[in-house]
Amino acid sequence: MISDHWSTLVDPRIREAFYLGFSGGDRRVSMIPQLFDIRSSALADEKVQAIGGIGKTGWNFEDTGRVPYSEPVKGYESTFSHHEFAHGIMVERKLIDDNRISQALDAAGNLGDSAFRVREAAGANVFINAFSAATASALDDYGVDVVGPDLVALGSAAHPTSPQDSTAIVNEGVLALTAANVSTTRQLHMELKDMNGDLLSIMPDEILVPPELEDTALTIVRSVLDPASANNAYNPQSSRFTVKTWHYLTDSTAWFMIDSGLRRQSLRWYDRSPLEFAKEDDFDTLVGKWRAYMRWSLGWTDFRWVYCQNG
């Protein structure tokens, strides 16, 4: 005989199935912790004021005999507005009475898997929309702004140097993923300037690719010898980069060169309400309801951490 509190009895198993579906066990790894700086939040939205570096001029103490003091350049302000996401399943009591709890466990596991996929797809949209032509606020399906705080997409030929300097900075191209183009992109990335117009000391060390480019990327960065030459030429790209492959990138030819140190400063994910799982009973219909809920935001505060190639 099943207790009147039947949903409470089966809740631990359904909860376990949900979180196992979300984690995927050893079957998969989330790319969000590998790419985003994940932070907690206690506010309705988070505002981040970008601050530029101190310029390289004025250091010669012997010229003036006094220590000069400078104010950092004020950059763009980013607003991270948190959005809510929720979904659920319903389980009839008779499934438990008839010893068919496996169906409920499957549904809970599928719900957890869906929560995982929603987060991954939302995060991947940062790169999927990197070549958007939008020049004003435009939200994607997850409430994430397609443009950055400078009102252009992540990869663009029209990034202003700063709010005070409209000189354009380019961090996008159309080069296919080859060893030669990795070298070219590395040089272009390292030439990006900061808000003062000075070299930023960018050191690219990651290449992000879709599954279709993974083998090519691994060949380029792991071959000691030049993979495009039969003359035993040394491959200068060997061991320079870590390859990151994201299943949720939808463009089979786009790839991204990244400075991981700058990425950790600029690419952010705020968990306002981390994933939670709760239940309630409907007394009249003998249906148990379980629902997942999460609230988060994501985006970037500056673009210089990445060079985007729409191959």
The tokens for 81 are 């507005």
Query: Residue 1: its pLDDT value, please?
Result: 42
| DSSP string for the chain | ---TTHHHHHHHHHHHHHHHHHH-TTS---SHHHHSEEEE--SSEEEEEEE----S-S--HHHHSS----PPPEEEEEEEE-EEEEEEEEEEHHHHHTT-HHHHHHHHHHHHHHHHHHHHHHHHHHHHTTT----S--B-TTS-BSS-TTSS-SS-S-EEEETTEEEEE--EE---S-HHHHHHHHHHHHT-B-TTSSB------EEEE-GGGHHHHHHHHH-SB-TT-SS--B-TTTTT-EEEE-TT---TTEEEEE-HHHHHHHEEEEEEEEEEEEEEEETTTTEEEEEEEEEEEEEES-STTEEEEE-
Spell out the per-residue pLDDT of the chain, length 311, in tens: 455 566 777 889 999 999 999 998 778 899 999 999 999 999 999 999 988 877 777 788 888 888 888 788 889 999 999 999 999 998 887 877 677 788 889 999 999 999 999 999 999 999 999 999 988 888 999 999 999 999 999 999 999 999 999 999 999 999 999 999 999 999 999 999 999 999 999 999 999 999 999 999 999 998 886 666 666 677 888 889 999 999 999 999 999 999 999 999 999 999 999 999 999 887 777 788 999 999 999 999 999 999 999 98
pTM, whole model, 2 decimals? 0.89
Query: Residue 176: its pLDDT value, please?
Result: 98
Domain boundaries defined on the chain: 10-21+79-310
- Which of 56, 72, 29, 53 has the alpha carbon at shortest distance from 265? 53
